[in-house]
Amino acid sequence: MEFLVFISYIFFAFLLFLFLNFMVEKFSLTKIQYVLFTNIFLVFLASFASYFHLNVFCDNIFIIVVFEFLIRMIYTTYLLEKDFFSKEEGNLVLYLSNLIVAYLLNQFIIRQVDMVFLNPEQLKFLLWVFIILFIYQFFYKKDATTFREKSSKKISIADRGQYIVLQYAKMKQKFGKEIRVQGDIRLLVYAIMIFENYRRPSFFRQLDYFRYQFDHVPRKQGIMQIDSKKIINDLESIEIIEKKFEKLQEKKKTKKNDIDVSFLLKGVGKKQEEIEQIEEIYQYLKDFSAL
């Protein structure tokens, strides 16, 4: 029996090796993700083994990681002809950390229970967690998809001129006194504001703030949709854009009211498709203000 278990460890170590290679190549795993996926693999194996009452297989399941380590060392050294123990690569630290985590998981969790699979009460709790996460993800993706579809229209509806003018009046009333820049740069700030507010209205920006309180995942924030690792409000996002525009203008060394719209928008991280749409709005505002 022990011999069969030993052979099975080698077999599953090879499967783990293939699985990790696939995940690294497909998703470019970080070191933490690498360790997590290794141990998720072990948990799934232990779950099935305990379900079929193969507890002897679970007793030292971390040995699979040991064999995977040896397989990877041979593969890297002899097939790839690389230095497996290179300090620059940091492989040794990663795989030793992986082994330590697997050993602790084996000793303090897997070996301490008769059944690794969840019991009905635990499944009930997990079911509700899954439902909540599903609803959250569904509406989050739904709202993102909806506004991507809207933005793809490039505000090309028949009354886009009226929409732009109304939004311009609204933004001017709300933020006009706070905007420091003048001239054409000021119009460009309004153009970005109108464009981004169309893609991500205030209600959904508030949802982003709310989500950030829980997950602390960096995301675009404020009416100007600035990449930020902390919460910023609409006015702060406008101030950030203004400062970036001023620095870019100094770098460009153009006259105060002579701006390169494409250059400025690229400088604040806008993509080509976004630049084209914002330029259209900017040009409309410029023509409108000249009336």
Asked if residues 35 and 98 have their Cβ atoms less than 8 Å apart, the reply is: yes
User: CA 159 to CA 29: how far, in whole Å?
Assistant: 47
**pLDDT for the residue numbered 139:** 58
pLDDT digits (tens, 9 = 90+) for 89-114: 677 888 899 999 999 999 999 988 88
Q: Delimit the domains of the chain by residue range.
A: 2-117, 157-289
Integer angstrom CA distances of residue 263 from 101, 139, 165, 249, 282: 49, 36, 25, 9, 14
pLDDT digits (tens, 9 = 90+) for 170-221: 999 999 999 999 889 999 999 999 999 988 888 888 878 877 777 777 788 8
Radius of gyration over every alpha carbon of the chain, rounded to an integer in angstroms: 28
Asked if residues 126 and 118 have their Cβ atoms less than 8 Å apart, the reply is: yes
Residue 227 phi, psi (nearest 5): -65, 120
Number of residues written out for the chain: 291
**pLDDT for the residue numbered 89:** 64
User: CA 42 to CA 44: how far, in whole Å?
Assistant: 5
Residue 188 phi, psi (nearest 5): -65, -35
pLDDT in tens, the chain (291 residues): 588 898 999 999 999 999 999 888 888 788 888 999 999 999 999 999 988 888 889 999 999 999 999 999 998 888 887 787 776 667 788 889 999 999 999 999 998 888 787 776 776 777 777 777 766 665 555 555 555 555 444 444 446 788 888 899 999 999 999 999 988 999 999 999 999 998 888 888 887 887 777 777 778 889 999 988 888 889 999 999 999 998 988 887 655 567 889 999 999 989 999 999 999 999 999 888 876
**pLDDT for the residue numbered 103:** 94
Helix, strand, coil shares of the chain, percent, nearest 5, are: 75, 0, 25
**pLDDT for the residue numbered 144:** 53
Residue 289 in tokens: 């203000």
Helix then strand count (H, E) for the chain reads: 12, 2
Nearest to 39 by CA among 57, 54, 11, 19: 19
* Bridge partners for 136 per DSSP: none
Nearest to 99 by CA among 34, 18, 55, 44: 34
**pLDDT for the residue numbered 158:** 43
Nearest to 288 by CA among 165, 114, 166: 165
User: CA 76 to CA 209: how far, in whole Å?
Assistant: 45
